[in-house]
Structure 1
């Protein structure tokens, strides 16, 4: 496979993992419609920075110790779940205070989206597990079924795009795909928000609901792991 094809496969992989709905995209959406594109981009950058941290920790062997610790795993779930619930309340408050997109953009103070997504990512055992398995495998010789790892749809996409791993180009493409998502996703929301005033409060409410749902799930998993 040529370097260009390998890089493009990595971009597709990054987009496929970054795009599905979840707590990170909920925060990116909330920041984008309430504070504008730059705030949404910074929120996405927080999650991407956490990925880089996990990758470095995995290569250093530290992440494996964390993942295998029976004591740390429940703590990560509980802390992550509590943060999601806390951020959900913030999103619902912003929905109440935000009447329209045009009135909201830039008016609700300094964005904390980077800190939110960075903290949530670092307390997400699923994200840690990804880097311990698939993530590091990007640099090890072998094959990778790119679309099989798409959350919620992987089973139906198995075998569609299988690429050779072991090239730094694939990893670079992966991060390029994530970067492409955190640039275009907020931009799309902002473009729509400037045409549909009701988008800002609606997205803020939806973000709060998503965060609350994932928060309850994480808290439940953490409690069950302790009993």
Structure 2
């Protein structure tokens, strides 16, 4: 029992460590959170996690390993991801001057609000549901073509399903080399997989909440985050398109 709990906890740490570093997924979550609220940010994170769940199933079925043998297919997927990132970067740049309350809400002094307050509130909730759903779809589609997630499931992700050991912190982006050997757990167990996805849930719940809290205290926070999201997405989009072209045209 103790070993299972340790493995589960290690999976949680692993999930958070992989979800937390800056990248296109967190750029989408950040933009949705500060412009449209916690629900939209959480659903964007849920979209990215849903893509991980799809990759997990494909890895279990052996499909991911099959795709690994065809570099042209992988390159085409990377190219599609690059195009999508540039498109979403444009969308984020268009939202720089927007805010959640300004985009879908209405001023309390707006004429007609007192007369039709219930209808206005209902309309606001409906629009909120639409944009939150858009965040989910945006992150889900982008995650399915995100080379980093694809690469993870082609390598480390497949290893989660096989009996053996995993040096959890060594796989952490940017700082993994200095943490090698600190936390080594057994793979091929449901406790590790459950912990991994639980760690992602912790991140996609807490990260949007922190951003929304900061945005409420700093009026200029929303356009700054939207602008940074646009820059991050555009940078990754250009990078992925360059890599895709290098393989397809090389």
Q: TM-score, normalised by structure 2?
A: 0.85
| Deviation >3 Å, runs of 4+ | 100-109
Instruction: Report the equivalent of 2:188.
Output: 166
Gaps of 5+ in 1: none
CA deviation string 1:96-144 (max 9, x = no partner): 3x2x565357678632111111111111233122112211222322111
Q: TM-score, normalised by structure 1?
A: 0.94
Instruction: Report the equivalent of 1:90.
Output: 91
Task: Give distance in 2, aligned partners of 1:224 and 1:199.
Answer: 38
CA deviation string 1:133-170 (max 9, x = no partner): 21122232211111111111111211121112221101
Instruction: Report the equivalent of 2:179.
Output: 157
Preserved contact between residue 76 and residue 248 of structure 2 (Cα < 8 Å)? no
Instruction: Report the equivalent of 1:115.
Output: 137
Q: Which has the higher Rg, Structure 1 or Structure 2?
A: 2
Aligned length: 225
Instruction: Report the equivalent of 2:45.
Output: 44
Q: CA RMSD in A?
A: 1.6
C-alpha change, 1:183 and 1:41, in structure 2 (3 Å) is: same
**Which moves more between the two structures, 120-129 or 206-215?**
120-129
Preserved contact between residue 101 and residue 197 of structure 1 (Cα < 8 Å)? no
Instruction: Report the equivalent of 2:112.
Output: none
Task: Give distance in 2, aligned partners of 1:105 and 1:64.
Answer: 44
Instruction: Report the equivalent of 1:80.
Output: 81
Instruction: Report the equivalent of 1:176.
Output: 198
Task: Give distance in 2, aligned partners of 1:65 and 1:125.
Answer: 16
- Aligned residue for 2:173, secondary structure, equals coil
Task: Give distance in 1, aligned partners of 2:41 and 2:208.
Answer: 5
Equivalent of residue 160 in structure 2, options 104, 121, 138 = 138
